[in-house]
Structure 1
């Protein structure tokens, strides 16, 4: 089974292009609370999406699912979740959760009206994961490497792939029989750690979900819609073709790739630290 791929956009034209080229989920991002402070100095995407984007995108999709990330649990969560469901969300993602109580409250408010996804990206979430996995009503879990590597004091988000953190989390979630994924994927042949290496790790670890990273198609910098179409057509084809290769690799090949990931991550971390020293 190929990875279920997610792409963040609130542009209907781009959402349709992504859907037509096999992107499984279009992602509307409503998370704003605390994000600026957490990711200060980090080159990450800050969303300007709105509730109205949900209804606009939901009306045009025919095969891709509509995923909405809400704010971390707070006093306004009940209102926001109900608005998101009413607007047409098919999956709702809860970010930055830190306790079983927050997760339980989230599940109770959703009340089986949509699928639920937990975005695991805090140290506290790791600490209470065993208890959370005993709750019913969790449809999927995604391990968010960007915020999680910051929370754990790492230099590069894929250090969590190299140091066993992701593998340990995947093992626990798999045992609970909940579908899971982690991190993002750049274009084939691109990325500080090549996308091919990461895809092979998804297959080794039993991950079935991934985000298409900003570098896959940075629509903030590519303004021409036909250019965006070409980027998706070319790179989705390359990605799915590589997945066919990944799917037939034996355990020995996947473990060899794991060792190459360790070497690659170490090289990237050393490079990033040198840059910081020079700055």
Structure 2
């Protein structure tokens, strides 16, 4: 099972996404510190609120509602309480630095929802072994954007070529903990072609990714979304690709990894040349 996550707070868009085969609707209420970390980048800053959960819970179909809360702060206990009372299936904790932070939030959740720590700091990924074994942690997600910023890398997909993600994946597989990684673009698109990165997901055992903005083109209404993206076809293409490569042999994945290394190297080289 490869979980596809779609970020939205719009009920109609969420319903359409579920109808098109998305597994999880992702409500992103994280705001603390995000502008300071990513304000200089071309990233989406969400305006989602916990109140949006009420509308999203009316969406019909087989899906899970995932809510990303704020990093641990004085109001986290209240956030967790409200998120659970409004019916979240999964709570995601961003920007943590230590196992103790994960333990604290897990105790607040107390088994009432699934719990996914979002690994996006160097200290978090360095302690991924112990973090993944915290009681109550059901899954782990590795966030490439903030992690590459924290590690002072030029390009977030360097994390796939410098051994960071691969070592983390090995630890998570050893611990029997399901994990997802970053986001995925539409097949044939992205600074790093999505088929290459998706093949690497499968090779190292990843079981999920967030659908990038290419899947919604920042649409504010269901009409805009349908005019810009044929979501049903794009999700089906991803599913078909995952199914087709899941039975590939080691030679295929070795060749794909070589392509991945080459593309990332070229992108980083281009970034360095631009900065001169």
Equivalence for 1:224:
224
CA contact (8 A) 1:161 1:167 kept: yes
Give the secondary-structure state (helix, strand or coil) at the position aligned to 1:43: coil
Q: Say whether residues 1:25 and 2:24 are aligned partners.
A: yes
Matches within 5 A, 1:13-162: 13-162=12-161
Q: Any stretches of 5+ residues in structure 2 without a counterpart?
A: none
Q: TM-score, normalised by structure 1?
A: 0.95
Measured in 2, the distance between the counterparts of 1:135 and 1:60 equals 32
Equivalence for 1:177:
176
Measured in 2, the distance between the counterparts of 1:7 and 1:133 equals 24
Measured in 2, the distance between the counterparts of 1:17 and 1:38 equals 32
Q: Structure 1 residue 240: deviation in Å?
A: 1.4
Equivalence for 2:10:
11
Equivalence for 1:259:
258
Measured in 2, the distance between the counterparts of 1:270 and 1:221 equals 36
Q: What is the root-mean-square deviation in Å for CA atoms of aligned residues?
A: 1.4
CA contact (8 A) 2:184 2:212 kept: yes
Is the deviation greater in 103-112 or in 232-241? 232-241
Q: TM-score, normalised by structure 2?
A: 0.96
Residues 27-77 of structure 1: per-residue CA shift (max 9 Å, x gap)? 000100000111131111111000111111012232111000000001100
Is the deviation greater in 131-140 or in 14-23? 131-140
Measured in 1, the distance between the counterparts of 2:8 and 2:248 equals 33
Measured in 2, the distance between the counterparts of 1:276 and 1:237 equals 39
Q: Structure 1 residue 23: deviation in Å?
A: 0.4
Measured in 2, the distance between the counterparts of 1:33 and 1:103 equals 17
Measured in 1, the distance between the counterparts of 2:109 and 2:258 equals 41
Q: Structure 1 residue 14: deviation in Å?
A: 0.8
CA contact (8 A) 2:217 2:225 kept: no
Measured in 2, the distance between the counterparts of 1:219 and 1:233 equals 17
CA contact (8 A) 1:145 1:160 kept: yes
Give the secondary-structure state (helix, strand or coil) at the position aligned to 2:227: helix
Equivalence for 1:212:
211
Measured in 2, the distance between the counterparts of 1:201 and 1:253 equals 10
CA contact (8 A) 1:199 1:246 kept: no
Residues 224-250 of structure 1: per-residue CA shift (max 9 Å, x gap)? 24325x520221121112112211211
Q: Structure 1 residue 128: deviation in Å?
A: 2.3
CA contact (8 A) 2:216 2:225 kept: no
CA contact (8 A) 1:146 1:157 kept: yes
Measured in 2, the distance between the counterparts of 1:136 and 1:124 equals 19
Give the secondary-structure state (helix, strand or coil) at the position aligned to 2:182: strand
Give the secondary-structure state (helix, strand or coil) at the position aligned to 2:17: helix
Q: Any stretches of 5+ residues in structure 1 without a counterpart?
A: none
Q: Structure 1 residue 131: deviation in Å?
A: 2.6
Give the secondary-structure state (helix, strand or coil) at the position aligned to 1:68: strand
